[in-house]
Structure 1
Amino acid sequence: MTDAHAYPVPVEPPVDRVTRLSDRVLSRMPRWLGPVAVLGCIGGALGYTMWSTPASSGADSIPTCLVKLTTGLDCPGCGGTRAAWYLLHGDIPAAARHHLLFVFAVPFLLYLYVAWAGQTAFGWKLPQLRLSPKLLAFFLGAWGIFMVLRNLPWAPFTYYFV
């Protein structure tokens, strides 16, 4: 007697030449290359931020925000580049004025990178941050509320309008 509700056994798809090549290349790469590549991307982003001087630029100059340029409203990320620029210059109050949640998140992002890079490159066993779905939903909700409040046209919310 056969079971009518039996689930089919999954079949591995055939491996194509591109997958075999990428698997071979990835298996030969040193462990430290991933963290160094990410660090290079972070360095490039910070270098661009330092080069562009976003603190003295308007909505229509480089780097630009399309939402701010077209609607005049601050999007959820508006002020993040300026906040990074002020953080790089050690001005935490000005950075918080431009993007409060970005300033709050930076230490956690730095720790996540150091823990991941240390584990990947050197085998360090740093405690990992546990980000539950509820915590992420809370942070995204706070980010959305922050976006709405910073666009309200009366005090004290106009202080965060960048």
Structure 2
Amino acid sequence: MSTGESWGPAETVGPTGAAVRRRTLRRAALTLGVGAAGAGYLWHTDPHQPGQLLIPCPFKWITGLLCPLCGGTRMAYDLMHGEVVTAFHDNAVLLTLGGPVVAYAVVRWLVAGLRGREYRPRLSGRGNAVVLGIAAAWMLARNLVG
């Protein structure tokens, strides 16, 4: 082995800024299309009425308890129809905390991607504990209080 050689892992070069922009635009367009199709279906399918063709919550199906996300479909339906108070009743924590956090992450991802940079949100151990703690407290509260 000569003095300039290395046996370690080769350096990897990430995608170029243009490639990141193209990938971001493709993913955003796909997500927008799937979201629009889902919203179009949900617009005409009232999840408050029994017998609708919607995916049931597997946690509730198995345990009979409400999970932290239960009511999210009804909440989305109510928001699309301008019923904010009813949406709040369906899932208050998801509406007040989850919506803004997801919106922030999506905007941050789009801005970084359109600038040609990768954005990978990561939660620290403390962040994971906070999210799981809020979810557990919300699940307990809504199942005990009703």
Q: TM-score range by the shorter chain?
A: 0.5 to 0.7
Say if 2:81 is the partner of 1:89. yes
- Consecutive aligned runs of 4 or more in structure 1 exceeding 6 Å deviation: none
Say if 2:138 is the partner of 1:146. yes
**Contact 1:68/1:75 (<8 A) preserved:** yes
1:51-130 alignment runs, 5 A limit? 51-57=44-50, 61-63=52-54, 64-104=56-96, 105-121=98-114, 123=115
Compare relative contact order (CA 8 Å, sep 6+) and give the higher one, 1 or 2: 2
Q: In 2, Cα distance between the equivalents of 1:10 and 1:62? A: 55
Decide which structure has the larger Cα Rg and report it.
Answer: 1
Q: In 2, Cα distance between the equivalents of 1:48 and 1:10? A: 53
Could you tell me how far 1:41 is from its partner in structure 2?
2.7
3-state SS of the aligned residue for 2:44?
helix
The one of 47, 61, 69 equivalent to 2:40 is 47
Q: In 1, Cα distance between the equivalents of 2:35 and 2:9? A: 40
CA RMSD of aligned residues (A): 3.3
State, as a whole percentage, how many aligned pairs show the same letter.
Answer: 30
Tell me the number of residue pairs that the alignment of Structure 1 and Structure 2 aligns: 128
Change (3 A) 1:85 1:30: same
Map of 1:33 onto structure 2: 26
Could you tell me how far 1:143 is from its partner in structure 2?
1.0
Deviations 1:9-44 (A, max 9, x none): 6557xxxxxxxxxx9xxx6x9342122122223223
Normalising by structure 1, we get a TM-score of 0.62
Question: Mind listing any 5+ residue stretches in structure 2 that lack a counterpart?
Answer: 1-6
Change (3 A) 1:30 1:137: same
Q: In 2, Cα distance between the equivalents of 1:71 and 1:137? A: 24
Q: In 1, Cα distance between the equivalents of 2:9 and 2:112? A: 33
